């Protein structure tokens, strides 16, 4: 099998253009028909009908920005986790990290519900993401410890641990629903529908801040992550402080997934599909794979979200349903390919 590597710019330029087209397209497409002229006027703050201006400035543009950041974070976390586990089936959703983060987020919503009335931002930007982060990192450490031995990571144990942890998180979420008071219940229901509808400017700032932080940190570790694919002892022999690297990457991934889950609920499979697509285009080298994953992740989520808005308009499907419809068959195909190794 020969490896043909394209010039990076032959991949990145078209992807970037596609992303730009999708971003522009997504703000013109929606249940409310808005002509292109009106839309541009609304964006430039010129005189238009108030509902047009409202939809453009408060709904479609913020939502597009949130999609880009969340998609990129999910894709980056998936890429790094697959590298860390040295396994192409690792995905925050499948191995239970999203479940752990969701449990953390729900816990925060229930505990801090009495405060939500007075400090709404504290809840959405403070306690919920922090709890989601702790839930996510706990699960990642647990799954890594369960699934890895001196010969690498065991896919079977990793996936089974994911099943068990997701089930546990689901049960605990159910219990929380049962015990939550009315206010908390409302918040929980709203949150667990998991959509990009909560695109407020503070949320967008948090998402973009997280994305930029993750991207900068991951880029610095890209070469080390390449060496890590050889195995832990090999990476150690090449001068990498393996334990430090592992801990840092796990915490960063958990932070990324935790913030995504707390802002938009569980959106599966982006972290699974995108790294594969990226590797097909530029190979497993993380210095190229990470930026490409960020672009492709934003693109995928943007398209999925646009579809979710128009397909049953004026109602809206949760975007997780669209990504799952695309991702689950993909995952099954991967399982077929890996059958011999599990």
Residue 219 near other proteins by CB under 8 A: no
Residue 237 binds other proteins, judged by CB under 8 A: yes
Residue 332, interface with other proteins (CB under 8 A)? Answer: no
CA dihedral 161, 165, 167, 172 (to 10 degrees): 170
Tell me which residues in 277-306 interact with other proteins (CB under 8 A).
279, 283-285
Which C-beta is closer to other proteins: that of 72 or that of 242? 242
Question: Cα(first)–Cα(last) distance of the chain, in Å?
Answer: 23
CB of 156: closest distance to other proteins in angstroms? Answer: 15
What is d(CA 218, CA 224) in angstroms, rounded to the nearest whole number? 10
Q: Which one among 1, 44, 216, 332 touches other proteins, defined by CB under 8 A?
A: 1
The footprint of other proteins on residues 86-145 (CB under 8 A) is: 86-88, 141-142, 144-145
| C-beta separation of 336 from 280 below 8 A | no
CB count within 10 Å of CB 123 equals: 21
- Binding positions for other proteins, 140-179, rule CB under 8 A: 141-142, 144-145, 151-152
Number of residues that bind other proteins (CB under 8 A): 39
Q: Cα angle vertex 237, ends 231, 242, to 5°?
A: 60
Q: Residue 227's CB: how many other CB atoms inside 10 A?
A: 18
Using CB under 8 A as the binding rule, whether residue 246 contacts other proteins is answered as yes
CB-nearer residue toward other proteins: 275 or 297: 275
**DSSP-derived secondary structure for 94-108:** TTTHHHHHHHHHHHH
Q: Which residues fall within 8 angstroms of residue 305, CB to CB, at 6 or more apart? A: 26, 63, 67, 196, 319, 322
| Residue numbers at the binding site for other proteins (CB under 8 A) | 1-5, 86-88, 141-142, 144-145, 151-152, 223-224, 226-227, 229-231, 233-234, 236-241, 243-244, 246-247, 250, 279, 283-285, 341
């Amino acid at each position: 099998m020969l490896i043909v590597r394209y010039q990076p710019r032959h991949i990145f330029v078209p992807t970037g253009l596609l992303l730009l087209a999708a971003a522009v397209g997504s703000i013109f497409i929606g249940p409310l028909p808005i002509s292109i002229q009106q839309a541009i006027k609304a964006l430039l703050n010129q005189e238009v009908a108030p509902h047009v201006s409202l939809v453009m400035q408060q709904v479609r543009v913020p939502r597009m920005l949130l999609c880009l950041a969340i998609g990129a974070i999910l894709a980056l976390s998936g890429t790094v986790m697959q590298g860390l586990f040295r396994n192409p089936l690792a995905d925050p959703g499948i191995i239970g990290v999203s479940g752990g983060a969701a449990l953390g987020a729900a816990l925060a919503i229930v505990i801090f519900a009495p405060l939500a009335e007075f400090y709404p931002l504290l809840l959405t930007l403070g306690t919920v993401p922090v709890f989601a982060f702790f839930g996510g990192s706990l699960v990642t450490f647990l799954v890594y410890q369960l699934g890895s031995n001196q010969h690498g990571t065991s896919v079977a144990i990793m996936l089974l641990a994911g099943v068990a942890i997701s089930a546990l998180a689901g049960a605990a979420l159910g219990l929380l629903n049962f015990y939550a008071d009315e206010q908390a219940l409302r918040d929980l229901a709203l949150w667990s529908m998991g959509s990009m509808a909560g695109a407020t400017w503070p949320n967008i700032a948090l998402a973009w801040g997280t994305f930029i932080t993750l991207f900068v940190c991951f880029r610095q570790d890209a070469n080390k992550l390449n060496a890590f694919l050889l195995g832990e002892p090999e990476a150690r022999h090449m001068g990498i402080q393996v334990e430090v690297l592992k801990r840092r990457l796990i915490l960063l991934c958990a932070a990324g997934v935790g913030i995504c889950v707390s802002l938009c609920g569980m959106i599966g499979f982006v972290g699974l599909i995108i790294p594969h697509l990226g590797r097909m285009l530029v190979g497993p080298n993380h210095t190229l794979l990470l930026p490409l994953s960020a672009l492709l992740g934003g693109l995928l989520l943007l398209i999925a979200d646009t579809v979710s808005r128009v397909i049953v308009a004026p109602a809206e499907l949760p975007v997780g349903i669209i990504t799952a419809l695309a991702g689950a068959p993909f995952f099954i195909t991967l399982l077929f390919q890996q059958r011999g190794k599990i």
